[in-house]
Amino acid sequence: MTASASGAPAAAHFRFFVLEVLRTRRLGHSFLRVTFGGESLADFRSGGFDQSLSLFLPPAHREHTELPSTDEDSWFGAWRAMPDEERPVMRSYTVREQRRTEAGAVEVDIDFVLHGAAGTAGPSGPEGPAAQWAGRAVTGRRILAIGPAVAENKSVRFQPPADADAILMYADETALPAAAAILDRLAAGTRVQAWFEVPHPGDRLDLTTLAEADITWIVREDTPGAQRTGRVLDALRSARLPAAGAPYAWIAGEAGTVRAVRRHLVGERGVDRRAVRFTGYWRLGASEEQLLAEAYAGRAPSEDPASEL
The whole-number pLDDT of residue 181 equals: 98
Q: Which of 229, 232, 182, 234 is nearest to 209 (CA)?
A: 182
The residues pairing with 97 across neighbouring beta strands, listed in sequence order, are: 109
Q: In whole angstroms, give the CA distance from residue 227 to residue 229.
A: 6
CATH of the domain at 140: 2.40.30.10
pLDDT band (50, 70, 90) for residue 119? very low
Q: 118 or 189: which carries more pLDDT confidence?
A: 189
pLDDT band (50, 70, 90) for residue 7? very low
- Indicate if 124 and 186 belong to the same structural domain: no
- pTM for this one? 0.88
In a domain, 306, yes or no: no
- Indicate if 126 and 241 belong to the same structural domain: no
- Indicate if 227 and 284 belong to the same structural domain: yes
- Indicate if 185 and 283 belong to the same structural domain: yes
Q: Which of 91, 180, 105 is nearest to 144 (CA)?
A: 91
Q: In whole angstroms, give the CA distance from residue 172 to residue 258.
A: 9
Residues with Cβ within 8 Å of 293's Cβ and at least 6 positions away in sequence, in order, are none
Domain termination residue (choose one: 148, 181, 210): 148
Cβ–Cβ under 8 Å, residues 253 and 197? yes
- Indicate if 139 and 213 belong to the same structural domain: no
Q: How many domains does the chain have?
A: 2
Cβ–Cβ under 8 Å, residues 135 and 32? yes
Kindly tell me if the per-residue pLDDT of 205 is higher than 80.
yes
- Indicate if 132 and 190 belong to the same structural domain: no
In a domain, 307, yes or no: no
In a domain, 253, yes or no: yes
In a domain, 2, yes or no: no
Q: Which domain holds residue 86?
A: 10-148
Classify residue 42 as exposed, middle or buried by CB count within 10 Å of its CB (0-12, 13-18, 19+).
Answer: exposed
- Indicate if 115 and 240 belong to the same structural domain: no
Q: In whole angstroms, give the CA distance from residue 275 to residue 165.
A: 12
Domain termination residue (choose one: 121, 148, 175): 148
Residues with Cβ within 8 Å of 84's Cβ and at least 6 positions away in sequence, in order, are none
- Indicate if 144 and 173 belong to the same structural domain: no
- State how far Cα 87 lies from the chain centre: 23
- Indicate if 86 and 14 belong to the same structural domain: yes
pLDDT band (50, 70, 90) for residue 283? confident
The whole-number pLDDT of residue 289 equals: 66
Domain termination residue (choose one: 113, 148, 183): 148
In a domain, 303, yes or no: no
The whole-number pLDDT of residue 308 equals: 39
The whole-number pLDDT of residue 118 equals: 35
- Indicate if 133 and 220 belong to the same structural domain: no
- Indicate if 29 and 119 belong to the same structural domain: yes
Q: What average pLDDT is seen over the chain?
A: 88
The whole-number pLDDT of residue 284 equals: 82
Kindly tell me if the per-residue pLDDT of 159 is higher than 50.
yes
Kindly tell me if the per-residue pLDDT of 11 is higher than 70.
no
In a domain, 301, yes or no: no
Kindly tell me if the per-residue pLDDT of 6 is higher than 70.
no
Cβ–Cβ under 8 Å, residues 215 and 234? no
Q: Which of 36, 52, 44 is nearest to 175 (CA)?
A: 52
The whole-number pLDDT of residue 189 equals: 95
Residue type, 90: M
In a domain, 153, yes or no: no
The residues pairing with 87 across neighbouring beta strands, listed in sequence order, are: none
- Indicate if 126 and 27 belong to the same structural domain: yes
The whole-number pLDDT of residue 222 equals: 79
CATH of the domain at 230: 3.40.50.80
In a domain, 236, yes or no: yes
Kindly tell me if the per-residue pLDDT of 297 is higher than 90.
no
Range ranked top by mean pLDDT from 9-13, 114-118, 262-266, 300-304: 262-266
